[in-house]
Structure 1
Amino acid sequence: MGSVFDLPALVRLSAFAAMILMLLGGTASAFDYSRYQPEDLDVLIDRDPPAGNGVDVYPVRNIRLEVTLAAQAAPCSLSLPDVPKSVPGTKIDFLKWAMRTSGIPKEWIDRVAITSCVQVKSAKGKPLPMFIQDALSDSLAKEVAPGGKVTLYAMLVFFDQRGPGIVINEFMRPQTQTAQTGRDGTTDCGCGRDFHSGLDFSAPEGTSVPVMADGVVVKVEQDEAANVDVPSAGTCGRYVVVKHSYPNGRSAYTRYAELGRLIGNDGKPITIGQQVKAKDKIGEVGSQSRFHFEVRPVEGATADQTPKWTQLYAAVPGMEWSRYAPVDPQKFDDEVYGGKKAAATAEKN
């Protein structure tokens, strides 16, 4: 899955998570799956068309659709209806006009290239062309063949005589939906079967993923199909776990998952026991153009003490991280948790 276009209803990230975006130079963004509400594509297609030759543009709606892919990306001019005479230019010009009219900021529209459309079919087999971000086209072609089922995360922008005008922001194929929908209504990349265990970021393939604090590597998983049999871990592909120790005696694990190559600043493979500094490269974004980040504070109250965990992982080196429950990275402040802020205040006084 490629780079995403997330509208600017931005969540407040903790300094720990926000640094990811800063270090990646703005090439990554946290995709908020929970903002996309399920819609029935057949209902949208069957909506009465606007009067005359008009176009209805409403405030943009973030929707989630279950569809069948009918055809891969092709120039939109091959599949979309004619541009209304009142809006000069190409079909993409019309789309941009409709997006601005629906309330999407111009700077976001200008940043995202959209030149192609894909054909999909609804549950009842009705065909519909949809706009797709250029950054997603190659990934979709690699991951979903025509005739395959796919979940689309998209924006409903307008209705014209042929039906709804929809822009695809992200997609998820069925086999990657290990986690699907959790208790809080969010969805993740498969890391965590009971609930969303962290943040999913989208970034171009090959983008360096940085470590967020000093620590030591305790786990390196090279198996792309790796699965951890605890509810909050799930299937996360290749991943690296780093343990961070703080001045107040506390510690926490961070996990960087769904990665491509697990290499450091020097281009050499990441190894267990390796000391890393904040901002060091821990790996690269893989071919699915995304990665998963989570934080697991070492807290006795959240430790998995069940016989199942003990039997499976107590004697397995590097799996201690899976004992502890993940927390929302958007709310975790490592400086507060680790006593850094308290120490800095004491020094000033």
Structure 2
Amino acid sequence: MGVDVFPVQSYRFEVTLAAQATPCAINFLKWAMVTSGIPKDFLERAPISRCIQVKSAKGKLFTMYVQDVLTEHLEKEVPLGGKLTLYAALIYFDQKGPGIVVNEFSGPPSQQGSEKEAADCGCGQQFHSGSDYSAPAGTPVPVMEDGIVVKLEDNETATVDTPTAGQCGRYVVVKHSFANGRAAYSRYAQLGKLVGHDGRPIAVGQQLKAKDTIGEVGSKGRFHFEIRPVDSATMDQSPGWTKLYGADPAMDWSRYQTVDPAKFDAAVFGGKGAAAPEKK
């Protein structure tokens, strides 16, 4: 008897939902995830406490771990017996079978409305890393704060290989430097055209003011937004990241973990607002 633990590997599964999320034991999973190279801090930011049961096309039942952030969406959007596509990460394999974590899902077209599309941008097929929104195609997407464009990806099928970045198509990364010396990156992904309010293409090195347009919502009617504060405590210094991007300064943003955009206060973070409450 033994267990094989793998570096994070992403898979896509076409399955039928056999049982909604219920609490399950996750201590071994946490150990395996850390052993596979996933930072402990990330596990706290993307909690996992439940499992779902699915049935393969051949009728075999599987139990899979699922990120807590997805469970409510699953219950609302996919009925028992419903078909769905799972984007998941293989973490380990033991005598009971594979240890798989579900990080994204989508239902068939008949089950998808604008809210579903917003929840399924595909921008975190390893570990979901921000917030997803729906909006009509062509809607301008504004930058959150003053900053400078540090990375553009104009390939709609682009893949970012870092564990917290996922597949995000066209995207723009902006670096925000604050008066108190702190900095953060914001990323706007799954975009259509990468253009400003004047219709001119966005360029690396371009200075932006808060609310300036950095692109448009694409034909799928959804986009992905994430914030990554620069923090040495969350910096990815793993050999895997260094091998992939160590020679590319434009990918420095991917070193840092994301925070919940709804809870990030740029004024407080940058020293303009009230002091953030102390952590207990």
What's the TM-score once normalised by structure 2's chain length?
0.60
Please tell me whether residue 263 in structure 1 is matched to residue 277 in structure 2: no
Deviations 1:225-251 (A, max 9, x none): 111111100100000000000111000
Instruction: State the shift of 1:264 in Å.
Output: 0.7
User: CA-atom RMSD, angstroms?
Assistant: 2.8
2:72 is the alignment partner of 1:35:
yes
- Which has the larger share of strand? 2
Query: For the Cα contact (< 8 Å) 2:147–2:174, is it kept in 1?
Result: yes
CA distance in 2 between counterparts of 1:167 and 1:225 reads: 21
In 1: Cα distance, 2:153 partner to 2:202 partner: 10
Distance verdict in 2 for CA 1:273–1:35, change over 3 Å: same
What amino acid does structure 2 have at the position aligned with 1:308? G
Q: Deviations over 1:266-323 (max 9, x none)?
A: 2110000000000100000000000000000000010000011111112113111001
Match of 1:226 among 147, 158, 181: 158
Question: Compared with structure 1, are the counterparts of its residues 170 and 317 closer, same or farther at alpha carbon in structure 2 (3 Å cutoff)?
Answer: same
Distance (Å, rounded) in 1 between the aligned partners of 2:273 and 2:106: 46
Q: Is the 8 A contact 1:153 1:170 kept in 2?
A: no
Q: SS of the residue aligned with 2:253?
A: helix
Q: Map 1:159-308 to 2 at 5 A.
A: 168=113, 170-171=115-116, 188-308=120-240
Distance, in Å, in 2 between the alignment partners of 1:153 and 1:218 is: 36
Q: Is the alpha carbon distance of 1:265 and 1:168 closer, same or farther for their aligned partners in structure 2, counting shifts above 3 Å? A: closer
For 1:214 and 1:192, the matched residues in 2 are separated by: 26
Partner of 1:326: 258
Please, which of 78, 81, 87 is the counterpart of residue 64 of structure 1?
Answer: 78
Alpha-carbon contact 1:215-1:245 (below 8 Å) kept = yes
- The number of equivalent residue pairs is 186
Q: Which 4+ residue blocks in structure 1 deviate beyond 3 angstroms?
A: 65-69, 166-172
Query: Post-superposition shift, 1:67?
Result: 4.6
Q: Distance in 2 between matches of 1:269 and 1:231?
A: 29
- Provide structure 1 residue ranges, at least 5 long, that are not aligned to the other structure: 1-31, 39-61, 70-148, 155-165, 177-186, 344-349
- DSSP 3-state at the match of 1:255: strand
d(CA) in 2 for partners of 1:276, 1:234 = 26
Which residue among 252, 269, 274 is the counterpart of 1:337?
269
Change (3 A) 1:279 1:264: same
Q: State the alpha-carbon separation in 1 of the partners of residues 239 and 193 from structure 2.
A: 34
CA contact (8 A) 2:114 2:134 kept: no
Task: Note if contact 2:133-2:224 (Cα within 8 Å) is conserved in structure 1.
Answer: yes
**Greater radius of gyration (CA):** 1
State the Cα deviation string for residues 26-59 of structure 1 (Å, max 9, x = none): xxxxxx8543234xxxxxxxxxxxxxxxxxxxxx
Rounded Cα–Cα distance in structure 1 between residues aligned with 2:115 and 2:141: 20
What secondary structure, in the 3-state scheme, does the structure 2 residue paired with 1:226 have?
A: coil
3-state secondary structure, aligned to 1:325: coil
Distance 1:206 1:310 in 2: 36
Given residue 77 of structure 2, which amino acid in structure 1 is its aligned partner? I
**After superposition, where does 1:41-190 map in structure 2 within 5 Å?**
62-65=76-79, 67=82, 151=107, 168=113, 170-171=115-116, 188-190=120-122
Q: What is the CA distance between 1:331 and its match in structure 2?
A: 1.2
Tell me the secondary structure at the aligned position of residue 220 of structure 1: strand
Q: 1-side partners of 2:200 and 2:245: how far apart?
A: 28
- Distance in 2 between the 1:191 and 1:245 partners? 25
CA distance in structure 2 between the aligned counterparts of 1:265 and 1:208, rounded to whole angstroms: 7
Deviations 1:43-79 (A, max 9, x none): xxxxxxxxxxxxxxxxxxx23247569xxxxxxxxxx
Higher relative contact order (CA 8 A, sep 6+): 1
What are the ranges of 5 or more consecutive residues in structure 2 without an aligned counterpart? 1-68, 85-104, 276-280
Residue identity opposite 1:151 in structure 2 = G
Identity, in percent, stands at 59
In structure 2, what is the Cα distance between the partners aligned to 1:281 and 1:296?
20
